[in-house]
Amino acid sequence: MGSTLSTHAARVEHHVRHADAPHADATGRRLLESWRRSLETYQLDPGRAAQPRILTRTELKDRLEAMECFLRIARHGVRRLHEQVREASYVVLLTDMQGVTIDFVADNASDRDLKRAGLYLGSCWSERDEGTCGVGTAIVDRCPIIVHKSEHFRAPNISLTCSSVPIFDPDGSVLAILDASALYSPDDRKSQILALQFVTQSATMIENAYFLDRYSNQWVLQVSGAIEFAQVETDCLIAFDEHGNVLAANQKARADLLADAPPRCRIEDLFDERTTDLMRHAQTPNVVLPLRAARAATAYCGRVRPPRDTASGARSSARPSSAALPTASVRPLPIDHIAGAEPRMRDNAARVRRLLDVPIPLLLLGETGTGKEAFAKAIHESSARHARPFVAVNCAAIPESLIESELFGYTDGAFTGARAKGMRGRLQQASGGTLFLDEIGDMPLALQTRLLRVLAEGEIQPLGGGDTQRVDLHVICATHRDLAALVRAGRFRQDLYYRLAGASFVLPPLRTRSDVPVLMEAILAEECAAAGRSAVLDGSALDALLTHTWPGNIRELRNALRYAVAMTPDGVIASECLPAYLAGPMLPPDIPAVERGIVPDDDDDDERQRVITALRSTHWCAASAARVLGISRATLYRRMHQHRIVSPNRADLSGSE
């Protein structure tokens, strides 16, 4: 055995050193790149004899709970696949997006050889754990793959053959991996092609079933390429609302129909068919409609599935209620998806579940860029208000003189320059839905008083007078500032603080999260889809991304990957495709408090000095200094005015800082 381990290890290292792919095709190049990642990025030893890592019962329980809604749907597909391949001695694994086995079927699940090989519930098959393998490489590459025998990175795995296929979430990220593996098989890798086809069909079935369940309360257009199979086979799934706005699409629809569509498209942008006509046809069960693509004039056919409550005769009311809409226990929740596998985020999601549709404000805390608005949207989409507006207001980005009119609106002639017919404020626009107040710590004191009244009484009065108006709001606030310190300094109302702080959630900074590689993969997929391109990270780029401290958190990561996708010439992102600052420290070493992305609320002198330090370090570029401080430019200008800081190009430095 020792000879086999060393021989295989030497072979893998030789291929990587000489850039010699094991096959002269695309799969060979994928395998070579995966071997390189395993050696150089993850620094794994191909000759290591240890068995695959298996999670403890407690760790596995957390994983299973996080994927509970998906597993409920996927289990039938897993067992159906096993029935197809069991005669050839295959076992079937379903893993989460981090390669942990969350479902497993075998004829003899207690077989000692299967456990020793890691074909078992709770086993870890990410590339970071096992190097090149079916599950781990499919997660990274986002494509089906066969990893056959000696194509595995680690020598103990070279008896295995694995056929693995990604299952995608409706948002385009990898949700899970379906895999059929065998301990013993013919040496010719072509013997696995049929197994891969079975796995692909089952993965598509699971993906589509999950999509239909997730959007059970929306209109769904089921598109097929041939009318002969339209009743029994669906290629593309597109969820849309009653106005024809496309809400989501499965992976096939993204590739075939939405690749060239505008980001916020409508059904009429995709097909020469009106939304009202599609909704009318849905009243006749199983009717098949001819469809023609609006851009390419390609012929399709399709069926329209109405929302669950509409189909059952329970028409939704103009304003949703918890009785009219599905509860958190019967539909997959976006809040669970956004939590991912990060334990602290999963804890946040579990607490949010208990507070969904409870009429109390929620407060999100965390450094700038940690995804507070995305988390707030997920809360809204998980609640009974998900069909109503989500209105976001950045209290730091709106000039202080305008923020009151933005929030409360105004009547005709309320002030000079007002619109002739007045304007509905953001609070009225959000009525029935969710109001998200970002950077609540920068809200002026006078406006805090008015907000407190809205929270207490549910009434608003537009600027300029007029009758008070009732509003039905779920308010979510967010800040990266220390509100308790602001209260002590007299810059935030104590009564408002206690009303908001009762249900608070801390979002961890990116540098401390355990799921950074998964986040990178998901964000890269989104940026590729937005750019209409495909791209993968090579070892050097991945290493640079994994070692960066990310003071700007998820926002900074997204911008870096968006830049990299635009800069890559051939779809392979190397380190030179990344923003230049990733090659070295982003921030000067003499401003550690700023480096953390938080502006501590001490005394005014300290804050004034921090602002000046940030401005000087960025050569008085306001946009760059604001990024360093983790605030908006509007807030930076406000603080410069407050501390009487004047830039050199506006005044002689001899007169001011």
Task: Report DSSP letters for 204-215, one per residue.
Answer: HHHHHHHHHHHT
Cβ atoms 496, 487 nearer than 8 A: no
3-state secondary structure of 188: coil
In whole angstroms, what is the distance from residue 95 CA to residue 343 CA?
Answer: 18
pTM: 0.51
List pLDDT tens digits, range 516-529: 888 888 889 888 88
In whole angstroms, what is the distance from residue 362 CA to residue 222 CA?
Answer: 38
CB atoms inside a 10 Å sphere around CB 519:
19
Bigger pLDDT: 590 or 292?
Answer: 292
Bigger pLDDT: 282 or 561?
Answer: 561
- Report residue 281: phi and psi, to 5°: -65, -25
For residue 301, the model assigns a pLDDT of 87
323, HSE (Cβ side, Cα atoms, 13 Å):
2
CB atoms inside a 10 Å sphere around CB 572:
14
Q: The domain 602-642: what is its CATH number?
A: 1.10.10
Element (H, E) at 640: helix 633-642
CB atoms inside a 10 Å sphere around CB 233:
11
Q: Could you tell me which CATH class the domain 2-212 is placed in?
A: alpha beta
| 351-505 CATH fold | Rossmann fold (3.40.50)
pLDDT (average), residues 194-223: 93
For residue 161, the model assigns a pLDDT of 96
Bigger pLDDT: 566 or 583?
Answer: 566
For residue 466, the model assigns a pLDDT of 65
Give strand ranges (E) for 97-194. Answer: 101-105, 145-148, 161-168, 174-182
CATH 3.10.580.10 fits 510-583, yes or no: no
List pLDDT tens digits, range 330-342: 344 788 888 877 8
For residue 413, the model assigns a pLDDT of 53
In whole angstroms, what is the distance from residue 107 CA to residue 597 CA?
Answer: 53
> Which residue from 519, 515, 516 is spatially nearest to 527, judged by alpha carbons?
519
- Report residue 127: phi and psi, to 5°: -65, -35
Domain-by-domain residue ranges, the chain?
2-212, 215-311, 351-505, 510-583, 602-642
Of 456-460, 561-565, 580-584, 597-601, least confident by mean pLDDT is 597-601
279, HSE (Cβ side, Cα atoms, 13 Å):
16
pLDDT (average), residues 244-256: 90
3-state secondary structure of 514: coil
pLDDT (average), residues 425-429: 83
Cβ atoms 180, 148 nearer than 8 A: no
Task: Provide the Cα torsion 25, 30, 35, 41; round to 10°.
Answer: 150
Q: Could you tell me what percent of the chain has a pLDDT over 70?
A: 86
> Which residue from 49, 51, 43 is spatially nearest to 131, judged by alpha carbons?
43
Where are the alpha helices (H) located in 282-386, listed in sequence order? 308-311, 334-339, 343-355, 372-382
For residue 604, the model assigns a pLDDT of 54
For residue 396, the model assigns a pLDDT of 78
Q: Which residues, in sequence order, are CB contacts of 256 under 8 Å at separation 6+?
A: 235, 236
> Residue 456 corresponds to which tokens in the numbers above?
């207490």
